Each structure stands twice: as C-alpha cells, then as structure tokens.
Amino acid sequence: MKIHTIGGYDEVGKNMTALEIGEDVLLFDDGLFMPAIVGVEEREKIPTEQGMTGLGALPDVDYLVKKGLQKKVRAILVSHAHLDHIGAIPYNSYRYNANIYGTPFTTEVLKIIMEDNGQRINNRIIPVKLNSSIVVKGESGNYNVEFVSMTHSTLQCSMIVVQTPEGVVMYANDFKLDNSPVLGERPDYRKFRELSKKGVKVLIVDCLYAPQDMKTPSEKIAKVLLEDVLFGTENRNSAIIITTFSSHIARLKTISEFGKKLGREVIFLGRSLSKYVTAARNIGQAGFMKNVRMYSYRRQVEKAMKMVNKNRARYLVVCTGHQGEPGAILDRLARDELPLKLKKEDHIIFSSRTIPTPINELAREQLEKRLKKHNVRIFDNVHTSGHGGREDLRDFLNLIKPKHVIPSHGDLKKTTAGVTLAEEMGYVRGKNVHLMGDLKSLEVK
C-alpha cells in the first residue's frame, strides 16, 4: 500500500491524495487552490486546464503520469462539496477512465457548477447516499468504499472509508465533531467505534486548526452569536447586510429564519449563493428558501439593490464577498459601484472567518478599510468554523485509534501541529505518524 500526497500538504486547499494498491489507484478529492483564483470566477471566460495550472490553482497531476499511475485510477472519491475538494474535477478528470463518487449534495453542486460554467466531462458522476457504500472494481481486487456521516460547514460531508486487502484506509478531510448540528446528521460515532474495533491502518486527517488549543464550537453557537447581533443591537432603520460562505446551507437557514423573525424580507444575492442553494433545493434540503428571494445575475442584483436602497429597513440582504474577493457583491458595495449606497450605522455582518492564507487576509483587510470609509458598523467573526481544533483532533484520534496517521489540509505549520499532537498521544514520527508534503509518497507496511 502506498499513499501519494499530491496536494493539500503544503497549502490550505488543492486537496488530492492517491491510494495505490497493486495495479489500482483510488483518488481522494480533486480540489482547487482558491487564493490563486480570487476574482477569476467573475470573469466571462473560465480558464482552461493549462490556464488554471499557470495560476497555480490545480493539483500537479503530472505526478501520476511520471509514476505510471494515471491509467491505474479506478475511481475519484470526493468527500464534500467545497471547491478546494471538487473544483479541479472539471479541468483534469478527463485524464482518468474513472467514475466520480460523492454524496448527493456534493455531486449536485459539481453538476451545477459545470453547467453554469459551460463545462462538460465524460466521467460518470454517481451520487452515493450518506452512510452507505459502493464497490469499486480494480485489477488487484475490489474495494468496498463507505461514505460515513461527518459534520463540517456544508451539507452531507463524509469520511471516506476504503476496505482494501492491505487494511482499512480512512480519509478524514474535512471535519468537526458537532453533536448539535443545525441541519443534517451528527457524526456517525457508532460507525467510527465499529471501524476502530476492526482496525484502521491509515488515517489521513484534517489538521487545519491543529495548532489551536481548542474544541471548535457547535453550529448552534454560531446561531446564538447571530441572534445576539441581530436582536441585541439597534438596527430598525439600518440596512442589514450579512456575508457568509455560499456553501454553508445551515447558516443560510438560520439567517433566513432570523430575517423572518425580524419582520424583514430576506434577499440572497450572487451566483455562488444560487449554485449552492439550488443544489440543496434539488436534494430537498432547502425548505427555508420559501421565505427568501434569490437574485443571481448582475442586472437582477442591481434591480434588487435599488429596491433595498429605497427602503433599507424592510430587507435583510445576504451576499457574497466575505473573503474580500474582488468583484464580489460586498466588494462592489464598498467601492460604491451598486445602487445600494452604504450609510452611517448600516450593519455589515461577517458570519464567516477569513481563510488563513496571505492573499485572503490582505484582500479582507483592504475590504474592511473601504467599508469603514462609509462609517458602517462592522460585526466580525459571527461564526464557528467547520474544522476541528486540536482537542477535536485528539478526540478523533482516540476514537479511531489508527495504526498510522497522516496529517493533511494545511501548510507545514499546520501539519506539524498534527504530528506533535500524535506524538503526545504515543505515536512516533517517521514510524507511525508521517509529516508529508505535496508530491510525496509513503509506503505503509
């Protein structure tokens, strides 16, 4: 058994890992490096694979060619619907004679993104119900693959568990241990205990917040934080503008419920929001949208903004742009490029956290400077993360008790923190906890 760490081990994003067993390769995720394409999606023309590679946005899948592995790929297994895990599929999946498997929400998002961008692929996209399994046929055997329920910051996130002749491999990107999710299922602890008893040979695990000494709060805490801001501050005559992750369907549900309680009409603005909400609606997980008006395209957005500008106290606006992305709606509002003119005391609520990369942090800092020129009130970090902290990771390792641990989803600082935690728990660096980088290979015995 070999594990090839292709992307997501030197940076946050660009996630791809390859599991090699004999004549077979299973790929886990195929994601974008999002900071490389800040603003790109707002352009009319979506770049080609070559263009995206030039931007540094795609995993270096030429590694698979050099290792003679490309033709051995039997399946692309995707953990959840975030673009740093599925966004590269439209650009490079043609390289593999392999089906794509993911939960219904994940596959629906992928289809909608490609349709919106005018992209097509020849690979079959096959939805797999959460907490169920499929069999991937290979040259060296057949592999039972389970998609086990785990909480994160989007719907139907899964841990991917592969039964191989060499032992069980568990791919755990991304996760938090949320026992009170606002929408969706709790982590499947029963299944995790069952896997632990059977024995997990390799655990590839999210270490994005491994350096932080904390347990990540439940999504119910984010709901309380939002409630406190919306109902605990004076906003009767102010515009209320909330920005959050478009993929965070549970958060959007909370916002829509609070908007109704405030007596305001809720308006969602932006194509990214439309894509994820449409995917949720298509799988029956967007009942809250009956109380929401959705505007996607530029002229629609401008028309809605005129409407809000005339009666700012009547509406609650949800829009894109929480990372300071150039061209996103919040950025255009801050630049005074839209019919809604920001005024003193308007409320700008960031129900999000800046993704910890230098590009995002700089873009967000510049956005905030522009917003403050309008003398608005800014409420930052009204949010709980979808990634477990160091103590979540400790609990998860204690629960699974894997033979080998491979920290992933982060730069050297983050993966090193995952290694040191494992060392605290009795693992030995280089023996059964492994510090990897992009384009590295590890033979697991």
pLDDT at residue 357 is higher than 80: no
Q: CB neighbours of 352 closer than 8 A, spacing ≥ 6? A: 243, 244, 245, 322, 323, 381, 383
pLDDT at residue 415 is higher than 50: yes
- Taking a C-beta distance cutoff of 8 angstroms, is the pair 408, 204 a contact? yes
CA–CA dist 61, 48 (Å, integer): 15
pLDDT at residue 82 is higher than 70: yes
Q: CB neighbours of 223 closer than 8 A, spacing ≥ 6? A: 182, 254
CA–CA dist 39, 331 (Å, integer): 11
Report DSSP state, residue 187: P
Number of structural domains found in the chain: 2
- Taking a C-beta distance cutoff of 8 angstroms, is the pair 89, 121 a contact? yes
How many other CB atoms are there within 10 angstroms of residue 372's CB atom? Answer: 12
pLDDT at residue 257 is higher than 90: yes
Q: How confident is the model at residue 5 (pLDDT cuts 50, 70, 90)?
A: very high
Q: Which amino acid does the sequence have at 68?
A: G
Residues 163 and 61 in one domain: yes
DSSP state letters, 372-384 = HTTT-EEE-----
Question: Can you tell me the mean pLDDT for 207-229?
Answer: 96
DSSP helix/strand/coil, 39 = coil
Q: CB neighbours of 373 closer than 8 A, spacing ≥ 6? A: none
- Domain coverage including residue 300: 219-379
Residues 322 and 191 in one domain: no
* Range name among 207-221, 255-269, 325-339 with the lowest pLDDT average: 325-339
Residues 111 and 185 in one domain: yes
Report DSSP state, residue 429: B
Q: Percentages helix, strand, coil for the chain, rounded to the nearest 5?
A: 35, 25, 40
Residues 297 and 345 in one domain: yes
pLDDT at residue 85 is higher than 80: yes
Residues 34 and 173 in one domain: yes
Before 84, cis peptide (omega within 30)? no
Question: What is the distance of C-alpha 8 from the center of its chain?
Answer: 13
Tell me what pLDDT residue 39 has.
60
Residues 245 and 375 in one domain: yes
Tell me what pLDDT residue 361 has.
82
Burial 319-332 (b: 16+ CB within 10 A, else e): bbbbbbbebbbbbb
- Taking a C-beta distance cutoff of 8 angstroms, is the pair 63, 73 a contact? no
The CATH number covering residue 306 comes to 3.40.50.10710
Q: CB neighbours of 109 closer than 8 A, spacing ≥ 6? A: 81, 86, 247, 275, 276, 279
DSSP state letters, 206-238 = E-TBTTS-S-PPPHHHHHHHHHHHHHHS--TTS
Going by their DSSP bridges, the two strands 240-244 and 315-319 should be labelled as: parallel
pLDDT at residue 36 is higher than 90: no
Residues 157 and 296 in one domain: no
Residue bearing the bigger pLDDT, 327 or 230: 230
E strands present in 35-191? 73-77, 99-102, 125-127, 132-137, 142-149, 158-164, 167-172
- Edge-to-edge strand ranges of the sheet holding 440-443: 125-127, 99-102, 73-77, 24-28, 16-21, 2-7, 440-443
Q: How confident is the model at residue 42 (pLDDT cuts 50, 70, 90)?
A: very low
- Edge-to-edge strand ranges of the sheet holding 404-408: 132-137, 142-149, 158-164, 167-172, 202-206, 404-408
Unique residue bearing structure tokens 């990771």: 393
pTM of the entire predicted model:
0.93
Picking from 330, 354, 379, the residue at the C-terminal end of a domain is 379
Picking from 379, 402, 424, the residue at the C-terminal end of a domain is 379
Q: How confident is the model at residue 35 (pLDDT cuts 50, 70, 90)?
A: confident
Tell me what pLDDT residue 43 has.
44
Tell me what pLDDT residue 45 has.
56
The count of residues in the chain is 445
Picking from 379, 397, 431, the residue at the C-terminal end of a domain is 379
Average pLDDT, the chain: 94
Residues 80 and 133 in one domain: yes
Residues 372 and 416 in one domain: no
Residue among 99, 90, 155, 163 at smallest CA distance from 127: 99
How many other CB atoms are there within 10 angstroms of residue 27's CB atom? Answer: 26
What digits encode the pLDDT tens for the residues 283-315? 999 999 998 999 988 899 999 999 999 999 999
Residues 284 and 390 in one domain: no
Report DSSP state, residue 273: H
CA–CA dist 352, 243 (Å, integer): 7
Unique residue bearing structure tokens 């690979």: 123
Residues 37 and 157 in one domain: yes
272 conformational bin, left if phi > 0, alpha if psi -120 to 50, beta if neither: alpha
The CATH number covering residue 45 comes to 3.60.15.10
Residues 30 and 9 in one domain: yes
- Taking a C-beta distance cutoff of 8 angstroms, is the pair 267, 298 a contact? no
Output the CA–CA distances (angstroms, integers) from residue 117 to 13, 48, 112, 181, 275, in the order listed: 21, 11, 9, 32, 11
What digits encode the pLDDT tens for the residues 117-144? 889 999 999 999 999 999 999 999 999 9
pLDDT at residue 202 is higher than 90: yes
pLDDT at residue 277 is higher than 60: yes
